[in-house]
Amino acid sequence: MTEPAFDQVTETAPAARRHRVVIIGSGFGGLFAAQEFDGTDVDVTLVARTGHHLFQPLLYQVATGILSVGEIAPPTRLILRDQENATCVLGDVDRIDVEAKKLHATAGHIGFDIEYDSLIVAAGANQSYFGNDHFERWAPGMKTVDDALELRSRILGCFEQAEVTDDEEERRRLLTFIIVGAGPTGVEMAGQVAELAQHTLKGSFRHIDPASARVILLDAAPAVLPPFGNKLGNAARARLEEMGVEIQLNAMVTDVDYHGIEVKDPDGSVRRIDGSCKIWSAGVQASPLGKMLADQTGAEVDRAGRVLVQKDLSLAGHPDIFVVGDMMALDNLPGVAQVAIQGGKYAARQIIAGVEKGQTPDQRKPFKYFDKGSMATVSRYSAVVKVGNFELAGFLAWVMWLVVHLAYLIGFKNRLTALFSWGMHVGGDHRSQLTSTKQWVYARQAIERVQADEAAALRSAMEAASASEPVQGPPEDAGDAPAPSASTARD
């Protein structure tokens, strides 16, 4: 079975149609790029593997029961509903053909192609286990809505199991929470798990004291929050220790299993920490679409899989392809929301200038990043903020964090409901999103098994078909294999 060639379906005289911009990804880079085209003379198609725009910086609040999924992940098509030149398409992009200027994506079992005149790739990054992908099974990361819901159910499930076990050793293991990676996400998670245990769940169990939970924040690096510098890192560390979080630095995780983790200390000795709930926030790896583009264009990728882009965020020799956000490598810019937002908007403006004013690629002014600073919460009422040389820790920093995050939450209603949820949390230790289900814990592993089964079934069907068919031509005819389905095309 072959798919219809795209040009058979949509062939149109170039003069009769508008410039087609395709954006991959509905995160910060993709969404802000799409919005920049509002009212311009182009057609925009935004294709993403999720139907929502995810505000990743607040995922930890979903994982620890403060905010609901809807508050941080509104549907992209509703955000872009009034932008007439924008179309949203749900699809997992598995092929980009630079030569033919088209890409292939799947939605469920449906495969389809989309052609472009200009392409903005903003597919972000995934969790990295530094070559130890088997860690993921026991120490999920936090990149998606599914990850946050899984973690929430794992965290709460540990308290529930600790309540019913008679085995004291197992109870200690269940009440030990290990967070790997002392960057902003690790610090935020450690602070919230500690607050959940000590305040929110207080008095709600009959056989355990949730406050006896051990929360360990561990990193191979020698500092907490390295990008924030020593002063703020030490302030965050002091606040976490005040809350009872154990901080272990220079501690390299060498293995992760069901029971706990294995850690190597600087003197080379190896020790174990038993803990049921492990959370990974130690590294990122750019979307494999970056490598796919690099292979076709001769661009380089760095160790984290990020594509080295030109000063105008395009690929050398391909001024029509832009790579932005967590997937791009340029001047050591960090993988943060502002880099993605500004990069997405910049790329869109270059395309608009080309279409509307005839700007040629060599007339583009280089991308300039405006650093608006960074911030991370440590606990209720405590955060760290760094803007240039200005550094602040504590309550005022937390107020700044609150204002900035409210401003960036997409949509009026989302801001209102988030403000309400934060009010309940801040004022009364209340978390309104503490629902957890068994399905959320096991769904990822179950989906992986189903996908493996489907892939095996597809392979054996293809093998059976080719064995029963008479040989009709030279081997290259075999190129008409079915396009990979959603189940076989995952990154």
∠ CA 196-201-204 to the nearest 5 degrees? 170
- Hey, what are 404's tokens? 């900035």
Strand 176-180 to strand 307-308: parallel, antiparallel, or no bridges (unpaired)? unpaired
Q: How far is the CB of 36 from ligand FAD (least distance, A)?
A: 13
DSSP category for residue 269: -
**Closer residue to ligand FAD, CB minimum distance, 57 or 305:** 57
So which residues are the catalytic ones? 188
Question: CB-hemisphere CA count at 13 Å for 409?
Answer: 23
Q: Note the residues at the interface with ligand FAD (CB under 6 A).
A: 24-30, 47-50, 56-57, 59-60, 92-93, 122-124, 142-143, 184-185, 287, 289, 325-327, 335-338, 340, 491
Rounded least distance, CB 154 to ligand FAD, Å:
16
As a whole number of angstroms, the distance between CA 379 and CA 244 comes to: 12
For 126-148, the three-class secondary structure string (H helix, E strand, C coil) is: EECCCCCHHHHHCCCCCCCHHHH
Select 248 or 338, whichever has its Cβ closest to ligand FAD.
338
d(CA 417, CA 428): 16
Quote the least distance from Cβ 65 to ligand FAD, whole Å: 16
Tell me how far apart the alpha carbons of residues 190 and 184 are, in angstroms, rounded to a whole number. 10
**Residue 11: what residue type?**
E
Q: How far is the CB of 388 from ligand FAD (least distance, A)?
A: 16
| CB closer to ligand FAD, 45 vs 153 | 45
Measured from the CB atom, the residue of 48 and 263 that comes closer to ligand FAD is 48
Nearer to ligand FAD, 173 or 306 (CB): 306
Residue the block writes with tokens 């899984």: 150
b/e sequence 357-369, b meaning 16+ C-beta within 10 Å? eebeeeebeebee
Least Å distance between CB 225 and ligand FAD? 11
CB 393 within 8 A of CB 382: yes
Considering the complex, state which of residue 200 and residue 287 has its C-beta at the smaller distance from ligand FAD: 287
Q: How far is the CB of 327 from ligand FAD (least distance, A)?
A: 6
How many other C-beta atoms can be found within 10 angstroms of the C-beta atom of residue 303? 9
Q: How far is CA 258 from CA 138, 139, 225, in A?
A: 6, 9, 28
- Identity of the residue, 112 or 205, whose beta carbon is nearer to ligand FAD in the bound complex: 112
Q: Which residues contact residue 375 at a Cβ distance below 8 angstroms, ignoring those fewer than 6 apart?
A: 383, 384, 385, 386, 397, 400, 401, 404
Q: Rounded to an integer, what distance in angstroms lies between the CA atom of residue 119 and that of residue 309?
A: 14
Q: How far is the CB of 63 from ligand FAD (least distance, A)?
A: 9
